[in-house]
């Protein structure tokens, strides 16, 4: 079990570093060590895939490049497995296209090294807080037919079992519930989950909708809950979900 020494990070979440580059791994290990975290590192794609799909980790920092595969493929493997964990894509190149692709694949955040240690640690602490909400938070369950999710904790009963929604999955579902029955454009949804300063693509939203349908739709191939309004956006219709 990992151990947090800093009082401002109140939750314990096992953390993985997946990188084939020794320097990158050492930088991440050092910075996470300053948070008081004990982390496990993997150096090859097969080893990293086995680790992240085991369900033993709540947060993983995934390098774009590693022997036997890449970070994009690893992130897709986690999301397609139905596991919900915080995933951070790490790159040594300041490549906007790579960061956007990482978000499209399902990453919760993307960081470019070198990055100031304070910023990196702040990003990881924020992910840790979101993964393990404090015990004082009350339940706000939203029922979706036979499925449900908690607006506060992100815990959800889905078609693939009980999961914890990622930060952006939860922000999107909150926005849909708040605006039930209304047309939401992709810009509305991008603003809700990423903020005005971010620059993901329309395809990013579409990929998240696919995942949410896989979680909550009675038949993801014929959605009745998260309905596409062709050429305009999406509409959330909870009353139609059996």
Residue ranges per domain, the chain? 15-131, 141-240
Task: Report the side by side order of strands in the sheet with 155-158.
Answer: 141-144, 147-150, 155-158, 161-164
Residues 6+ positions from 64 with CB-CB distance below 8 Å: 70, 71, 72, 89, 90, 91, 92, 93, 98, 102
SS3 breakdown of the chain: % helix, strand, coil, rounded to 5?
40, 20, 40
**Could you identify the residue written with the tokens 């399902």?**
106
Q: What is the pLDDT along the chain (242 residues), one digit of tens a residue?
A: 333 334 344 345 578 899 988 888 888 888 887 776 667 888 899 988 888 877 677 788 999 988 898 899 999 888 877 777 788 999 877 778 888 888 888 888 888 888 888 888 888 887 777 665 443 334 478 888 888 998 888 888 999 888 889 888 999 998 898 888 889 998 888 888 887 555 666 678 888 999 999 999 999 999 999 999 998 999 998 754 44
Asked: is 15-131 a CATH 3.10.580.10 domain? The reply is no
**Cβ–Cβ contacts within 10 Å for residue 191, how many?**
14
pTM of the model: 0.53
We find that the CATH architecture of domain 141-240 is Orthogonal Bundle (1.10)
């Amino acid at each position: 079990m990992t151990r947090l020494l800093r009082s401002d990070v109140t939750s314990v979440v096992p953390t993985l570093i997946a990188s084939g580059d020794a320097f990158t791994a050492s930088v991440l290990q050092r910075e996470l060590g300053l948070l008081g975290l004990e982390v496990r590192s993997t150096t090859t794609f097969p080893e990293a895939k086995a680790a992240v799909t085991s369900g033993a980790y709540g947060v993983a920092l995934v390098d774009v490049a590693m022997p036997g595969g890449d970070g994009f493929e690893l992130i897709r493997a986690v999301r397609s497995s139905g596991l919900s964990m915080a995933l951070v894509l790490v790159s040594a190149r300041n490549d906007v296209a790579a960061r956007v692709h990482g978000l499209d694949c399902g990453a919760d955040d993307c960081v470019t090294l070198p990055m100031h240690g304070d910023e990196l640690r702040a990003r990881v602490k924020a992910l840790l807080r979101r993964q393990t909400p404090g015990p004082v938070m009350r339940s706000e369950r939203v029922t979706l037919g036979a499925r449900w999710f908690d607006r506060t904790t992100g815990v959800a009963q889905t078609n693939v079992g009980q999961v914890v929604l990622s930060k952006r999955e939860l922000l999107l579902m909150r926005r849909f519930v708040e605006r039930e029955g209304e047309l939401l454009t992709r810009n509305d949804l991008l603003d809700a989950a990423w903020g005005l300063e971010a620059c993901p693509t329309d395809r990013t939203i579409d990929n998240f909708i696919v995942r949410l349908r896989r979680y909550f739709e009675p038949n993801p191939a014929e959605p009745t809950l998260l309905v596409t309004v062709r050429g305009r956006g999406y509409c959330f219709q909870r009353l139609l979900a059996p």
